[in-house]
Structure 1
């Protein structure tokens, strides 16, 4: 409970102290057409791994760091590509999200970030209950649907 409260306070403070926020999410689909998803301790649903970009941090570095911390995937910069840029104004009027795709990775057996309750690879055509609308939309876009400007 304390972790959930701390995370909520942190996220709200982060948004209040900045005019705009920038986040990254990572799309990692393996050869068996399974997608990497995470379930956080502080928000409902299954999401693509990702997080906020810190001041002075490049978005690619943030994406590599977040997918490592949240899902244990080790991705080299040359194995990442920027897919799309979205706004998430429903959550915060200045929020932007960059979607990167990991094309190849290794896996680390280290512990995941404390805010991750579960993570794993799931078949794209059999996603876990609670997979978010935005996650489903990004997967549809990766399969050829038009890219939406909103997250």
Structure 2
């Protein structure tokens, strides 16, 4: 499904225009999940390069926590147990005008079946001090903020 990465640069303006017409302000969520060894869960999408925290967009009539639980299950096969902790709010203005991203810490979870169909290329667990080279800069920063006490940057 990596053909999506070749198409995405051409479809991105259309997708963003559709979001702006239908959503106005957009809101996304990302979850920081660690395993028993303290490794953080990251994923690669089929449509963009790099490693990311699992998450996605908040839909109409959906709370941010509900969206996070849905996206974690769909993308990563993680069932969120209990309420996650909101860590930070970021503006994604330079890349997507009007977009904001909420980052949550998922403390309690259990594995479940993923329902992603062709969206996820790979999932893997990484030590926070040994992230892959192609982890996105924003993902690297969010992990440092969540797990190493780095100062929170309001920009994504």
Normalising by the residue count of structure 2, what TM-score does the alignment of the two structures yield?
0.86
Q: CA deviation at 1:5?
A: 4.0
Quote the RMSD (CA, aligned, Å): 2.0
1:15–1:92: 8 Å Cα contact kept in structure 2? Answer: no
Which one is further off, 35-44 or 10-19? 10-19
Task: Report the equivalent of 2:45.
Answer: 40
3-state secondary structure, aligned to 2:105: strand
Instruction: Please give the alpha-carbon distance, in whole angstroms, between the structure 1 residues aligned to 2:5 and 2:143.
Output: 30
Instruction: Please give the alpha-carbon distance, in whole angstroms, between the structure 2 residues aligned to 1:95 and 1:106.
Output: 30
Tell me the number of residue pairs that the alignment of Structure 1 and Structure 2 aligns: 150
1:35–1:121: 8 Å Cα contact kept in structure 2? Answer: yes
Task: Report the equivalent of 2:150.
Answer: 145
1:84–1:99: 8 Å Cα contact kept in structure 2? Answer: yes
Instruction: Please give the alpha-carbon distance, in whole angstroms, between the structure 1 residues aligned to 2:56 and 2:113.
Output: 20
Normalising by the residue count of structure 1, what TM-score does the alignment of the two structures yield?
0.89
Change in Cα spacing, 1:55 to 1:30, as seen in structure 2 (3 Å) is: same
Provide structure 1 residue ranges, at least 5 long, that are not aligned to the other structure: none
2:27–2:57: 8 Å Cα contact kept in structure 1? Answer: yes
2:39–2:126: 8 Å Cα contact kept in structure 1? Answer: yes
Which one is further off, 23-32 or 5-14? 5-14
Q: CA deviation at 1:2?
A: 6.3
Change in Cα spacing, 1:47 to 1:3, as seen in structure 2 (3 Å) is: closer
Change in Cα spacing, 1:113 to 1:122, as seen in structure 2 (3 Å) is: farther
CA deviation profile, 1:84-113 (whole Å, cap 9, x unmatched): 111001111201000111001100144534
